Structure formats: structure tokens, C-alpha cells
Amino acid sequence: MPVGSTALVQALHFFSAIPKEFPLAPFQVNASLDVQELLQEALRGDERAKALIVERYVKQVYRFCFRMLGNEEDAMDAAQETLLKLVRNLGNFDPSRRFSTWVFSIARNNCIDMFRKRSKQGSMPERDIKDEGPGPLDIAEKEQRATHLRAALESLSPRHREVLLLYHFEHLKYREIAEVLQQPMGTVMNRIFRARRDLRLAYDAIIREARS
């Protein structure tokens, strides 16, 4: 094929690759990119990359906020605030850190703000305890156990609850938890040991109360 024809074919290929809705839709980034690559694209102003970062962390962030705060409304507000802060401050991310620990740091700070707001207002919202309706025995028992665990977790102090959530529910490593909390490893270890002990005590107390 002559050089001119090749150039023409390439030019046609280029123009056919432009999205039909151009210029309203941004170029679609690949959803399989890792977080670092998505971060690069997002920092270049790619809205789709920002949406993909949010999509990737929305579950973890909501789950953490829900377990920290104990109700859907506050968890929604805290998770929304966390994800918006995340996207707005992508430029401030320190690449020497792990991205997920940075995300959890933001989520944790928002949960702490929410606790402060609650204490200022002097009101604690009702817990969203699921209705244990009739059903097969094992399902009811499983739900009951989950409800007791949730109550036990909520009886812990926020400091103890957060370390347990990060370790046992989000499966972060010890040094990552230390990074999220910005505390030395020794402090984190002490908190985890105390939190584990308190959780077991609280859970046993709730079980005893339920049985009596």
C-alpha cells in the first residue's frame, strides 16, 4: 500500500474513533486500569476516571461508615462527604502512601466529625436494627447473631471500633492501620488488643442479656 493511502486510512481510523457524542462525552478510560493509572487520568481532568475511582471505593467507604456510625442516614452523609473529598483532593495524595489507607483516613476523619456533630446536638440517632421477622430458624439465628455483633461493636468506643473495623472487616495490615490512624505501631497494637477483649466482653454480655 502506498504511503499516502496508509496515512489516509490512519486518518479515517482516527476520525471514526472520535465518540459520536463528541464533544459532550469525555474519552472513555479503561475500567480495568489500576488505581495509580486511574489517578493519573483523573488528575488530567478525566471525569470518567474520577467516577471509576469512586465506584471502586464506594462499597468499602460506605461499609466502614455504616459500621462506625450505626445508621444508614449518617453513613450516607459521611460516605458521600468522604468520596467527594477524595475526588476533590486527588492532587494532594502522597504517592508514597497506599491509596486505600488514604481513603480510610478521610472516611475516619468524616466519621469523627459526625460523632462531634452528634455530641454537639446531644442526640444519638436510632439504630437501624433490622426487623427479625419470621423465617427459617438458621436464617433467624444468623440475623440475630449479626444484630448482637453490631450492638457489641456499637457499644465500643469509636477508637476501639475503628481499629477492629479496619483489621477484621476491611483486612488492612497492622502498619496500614497505623498509617490510617497516624499513630505508632505500639499504640495501634495496644488498641487492637483492648478492642478485641472489649468486643468479646460486650458480645457475651449481650448474649447473656438476650437469654435471660
Partner 1 sequence: MNQHPPDSQLALFVDGKLDESTSVDLAMHLDSCPACRQRAASMDPCTELCSRAEHIEPPPELMHRVLAGIASSSPSASTVHIHSVWLGLFFLLLASLMLFLWGDPTGLMAGALSGLGGLGVSLSALGRILPTEGLICMPIASLVPVLCFLALYVMQSNENGSIGARST
What is the binding site for partner 1 (CB under 8 A)? 10-11, 14, 17-18, 22-27, 45-47, 50-51, 54-55, 58-59, 61-63, 66-67, 72, 76, 79-80, 83-84, 87-88, 130, 142-143, 145-147, 149-150, 164, 168-169, 173-176, 185-186, 189-190, 192-194, 196-197, 199-200, 203
- Between 40 and 122, CB nearer to partner 1: 40
User: Cell numbers at residue 193, please?
Assistant: 488488643
CB 67 to partner 1: min, Å: 7
User: Cell numbers at residue 82, please?
Assistant: 468522604
- Between 93 and 174, CB nearer to partner 1: 174
- Between 115 and 174, CB nearer to partner 1: 174
Residue 126 and residue 124: Cα distance in Å, rounded? 7
Q: Taking Cα atoms as reference points, which of 48, 56, 54 lies closest to residue 27?
A: 48
- Between 122 and 131, CB nearer to partner 1: 131
